[in-house]
Amino acid sequence: MAHSVCASARDYCHSMTTLFAALDEVAIDAYADLLFDAWRENRRVFVFGNGGSAFTAGHHALDYIKTAAVPNQHWLKAISLVDNVGMTTALGNDLTFDETFVYPLRAHAAPGDIAVAISCSGNSPNVVKACAWAKANGVTVVALTGFDGGQLAQLADIHIHIPSDNYGIVEDIQMSIGHIAAQLLQQRVPATVVPA
């Protein structure tokens, strides 16, 4: 798959700076608000993606539980769908790789939960299939995409788009979005009194 690469460290840093400046901050704030609502209502957040995005998904889920943790408050129920290697490989081997994310969503997700799809192209069949199911079943879809946003742009309730076809830059910014959302979530939690 053709994609751009940077010619130098300066070029990479300049591209990152330009794209960060153009990020939709309102969409990121809305995402953080959605995570806070899920925390407050004790709903689940499912994060997933392929390749480098799989590791980003795991990192997001980690930060939403640990980084956003506040003493004497419950934690957000964040789950990375890529961290169960046995499930992922069984579904890919025994059924089809397209089922790897929709299958566990069908098992665990309920209306009001959140599906967070991380994809550079926005067109990965297993990610698109999971988001289509989520959308049809009352699960809010958040998509973090690069390139032109792909099919996920049309499925997302909240779409955070990085308009670049450089995989490294898109993945770096998607990781940063997770860090931002976790920190914003942590800031919102302490001011809220949750009944025991």
At residue 94's C-alpha, the angle toward residues 90 and 96, to 5°, is 95
| pLDDT exceeds 60 at position 52 | yes
Domains of the chain: 26-188 (3.40.50.10490)
**In one letter, which amino acid is 88?**
T
Supply the pLDDT for residue 2. Answer: 61
pLDDT tens digit sequence for 152-191: 999 999 999 999 999 999 999 999 999 999 999 999 997 6
Q: How high is the mean pLDDT of the chain? A: 94
Torsion of CA 46, 33, 51, 59, to 10 degrees: -90
* H-only helix segments in 41-166: 52-62, 85-90, 102-108, 125-136, 152-155
Which pair of structure tokens corresponds to residue 101? 């994310």
Place of tokens 């004790």: 42
Supply the pLDDT for residue 35. Answer: 98
- The model's pTM is 0.94
| pLDDT exceeds 90 at position 3 | no
Supply the pLDDT for residue 40. Answer: 95
Distances (CA, A) of 54 to 38, 95, 112, 138: 22, 20, 23, 24
Closest CA to 63 of 149, 148, 183: 183
Handedness of CA 131, 135, 138, 139 (dihedral sign): positive
Strands (E), the chain: 44-48, 77-80, 114-119, 140-145, 158-161
